[in-house]
Chains A and B, each alone.
Chain A
Amino acid sequence: GEDVEQSLFLSVREGDSSVINCTYTDSSSTYLYWYKQEPGAGLQLLTYIFSNMDMKQDQRLTVLLNKKDKHLSLRIADTQTGDSAIYFCAESMGGSSNTGKLIFGQGTTLQVKP
Chain B
Amino acid sequence: NAGVTQTPKFRVLKTGQSMTLLCAQDMNHEYMYWYRQDPGMGLRLIHYSVGEGTTAKGEVPDGYNVSRLKKQNFLLGLESAAPSQTSVYFCASSYSKPGTYEQYFGPGTRLTVT
Contacts and interface: CB of A to CB of B under 8 A. Distances in A.
A48 B100 contact: yes
Interface in A3-21: 4, 8
Given A42-B90, A88-B42, A107-B42, A101 B108 contact: no
Interface stretch (B12-20, B43-51, B62-70, B72-80): B43-51
B26 to A, nearest CB: 15
B90 A100 contact: no
Contacts of B105: 42-44
B24 interface: no
A31 B94 CA distance: 14
B58 A101 contact: yes
Contacts of B107: 40-42
Interface residues of A, number: 22
Contacts of B92: 42-43
Contact of A31 (B58, B95, B101): B101
Contact of A88 (B33, B43, B44, B50): B43
Given A42-B108, A45-B103, A101 B45 contact: yes
B103 A102 contact: yes
Interface string A101-114: 11011110000000
Given A41-B107, A42-B90, A104 B101 contact: no
Interface of A: 4, 8, 31, 33, 40-45, 48, 88, 92, 98-102, 104-107
Interface of B: 4, 31, 33, 35, 40-45, 48, 50, 56, 58, 90, 92, 94-96, 98, 100-103, 105-108
25 contacts: A4-B42, A31-B100, A40-B108, A41-B107, A41-B108, A42-B4, A42-B92, A42-B106, A42-B108, A44-B105, A45-B103, A88-B42, A98-B101, A99-B31, A99-B50, A100-B33, A100-B50, A100-B95, A100-B96, A100-B103, A101-B48, A102-B101, A102-B103, A104-B44, A106-B42
